[in-house]
Amino acid sequence: MKALFYTGTMEMEIRDAAEPVAQAGDCIVDVSHCGICGSDMHAFHGHDPRRVPPMILGHEIAGTVLDGALAGKRVVVNPLMECGTCEMCTAGMVHLCPTRSMVGMARPGGFAQRIGVLEKNAIVIPDDLDFETAALAEPLACSVHAAMAGLTRISKTPQNARVAVLGGGAIGLLCAMVFADAGVDDLWIAETNPLRGEMLEAVVKAKTYDPRDGGPELASCDIVLDAVGSGRTRAASTSLVRPGGMIVHIGLQDNEPGLDTRTMTLQEIGFMGVYCYTPDDFAEAIAMLADRRVTGTGWSEVRPLDEGARSFHDVHEGKAPPKIILSC
CATH of the domain at 312: 3.90.180.10
**CB 134 within 8 Å of CB 165:** no
Residues 182 and 199 placed together within one structural domain of the fold: yes
Residues 8 and 120 placed together within one structural domain of the fold: yes
| Within a domain: 285 | no
| Within a domain: 282 | no
pLDDT of residue 199: 86
| Within a domain: 302 | yes
| H or E segment and range at residue 288 | helix 279-290
pLDDT of residue 212: 93
pLDDT (tens digit, 9 = 90+) per residue, 110-169? 999 999 999 999 999 999 999 999 999 999 999 999 999 999 999 999 999 999 999 999
**CB 189 within 8 Å of CB 200:** yes
pLDDT (tens digit, 9 = 90+) per residue, 65-117? 999 999 999 999 999 999 999 999 999 999 999 999 999 998 999 999 999 99
Residues listed for the chain: 328
- Report how far residue 207's alpha carbon sits from residue 196's, in angstroms, rounded to the nearest whole number: 13
| Within a domain: 197 | yes
User: Across all residues in the chain, what is the average pLDDT?
Assistant: 96
Q: Which pairs count as long-range contacts for 300-308, CB under 8 Å and 24+ apart, including other chains?
A: 300/35, 300/132, 300/136, 300/170, 300/324, 300/325, 301/325, 302/33, 302/132, 302/326, 302/327, 303/327, 305/2, 305/4, 305/14, 305/111, 305/113, 306/14, 308/4, 308/12, 308/14, 308/36, 308/111
| Within a domain: 281 | no
Looking at the DSSP assignment, which residues form a beta bridge with residue 241?
Answer: 221
pLDDT (tens digit, 9 = 90+) per residue, 10-62? 999 999 999 999 889 999 999 999 999 999 999 999 998 889 999 999 999 99
Q: Evaluate if residue 315 carries a pLDDT over 90.
A: yes
Residues 130 and 174 placed together within one structural domain of the fold: no
Residues 26 and 90 placed together within one structural domain of the fold: yes
pLDDT of residue 30: 98
pLDDT of residue 197: 85
Residues 145 and 118 placed together within one structural domain of the fold: no
- Report how far residue 117's alpha carbon sits from residue 127's, in angstroms, rounded to the nearest whole number: 21
**CB 228 within 8 Å of CB 193:** no
SS3 content of the chain, % helix, strand, coil (to 5): 30, 30, 40
Q: Exposure of 229 by Cβ count < 10 A (0-12 exposed, 13-18 middle, 19+ buried)? A: buried
Q: Exposure of 194 by Cβ count < 10 A (0-12 exposed, 13-18 middle, 19+ buried)? A: exposed
Residues 12 and 41 placed together within one structural domain of the fold: yes
pLDDT of residue 316: 95
Residues 149 and 269 placed together within one structural domain of the fold: yes
- Report how far residue 206's alpha carbon sits from residue 162's, in angstroms, rounded to the nearest whole number: 11
- In 3-state terms, what secondary structure has residue 8? strand
pLDDT of residue 23: 87
| Within a domain: 200 | yes
pLDDT of residue 230: 96
CATH of the domain at 216: 3.40.50.720
pLDDT of residue 196: 84
pTM for this model (two decimals): 0.96
Q: What percent of the chain has pLDDT over 70?
A: 100
| H or E segment and range at residue 28 | strand 26-35
Looking at the DSSP assignment, which residues form a beta bridge with residue 304?
Answer: 327
| Within a domain: 287 | no
pLDDT (tens digit, 9 = 90+) per residue, 232-278? 999 999 999 999 999 999 999 999 999 999 999 999 999 999 999 99
- Report how far residue 325's alpha carbon sits from residue 289's, in angstroms, rounded to the nearest whole number: 16
Give the residue-averaged pLDDT of 172-176. 98
pLDDT of residue 116: 97
- The H helix count followed by the E strand count for the chain is 10, 18
pLDDT of residue 78: 98
Please state the separation of Cα 4 from the chain's center in Å.
Answer: 20
pLDDT (tens digit, 9 = 90+) per residue, 187-238? 999 999 888 888 898 999 999 999 999 999 999 999 999 999 999 999 999 9
Please state the separation of Cα 259 from the chain's center in Å.
Answer: 23
Residues 252 and 191 placed together within one structural domain of the fold: yes
| Within a domain: 232 | yes
Residues 113 and 155 placed together within one structural domain of the fold: no
Residues 127 and 169 placed together within one structural domain of the fold: no
Q: Tell me which residue range forms the domain holding 237.
A: 141-273
- Report how far residue 66's alpha carbon sits from residue 153's, in angstroms, rounded to the nearest whole number: 43
Q: Per the structure, how many domains does the chain have?
A: 2
Residues 227 and 195 placed together within one structural domain of the fold: yes
Residue 328 — very low, low, confident or very high, per pLDDT cuts 50/70/90? very high
Residues 98 and 203 placed together within one structural domain of the fold: no
- Report how far residue 265's alpha carbon sits from residue 44's, in angstroms, rounded to the nearest whole number: 37
Neighbours of 29 (CB within 10 A): 28
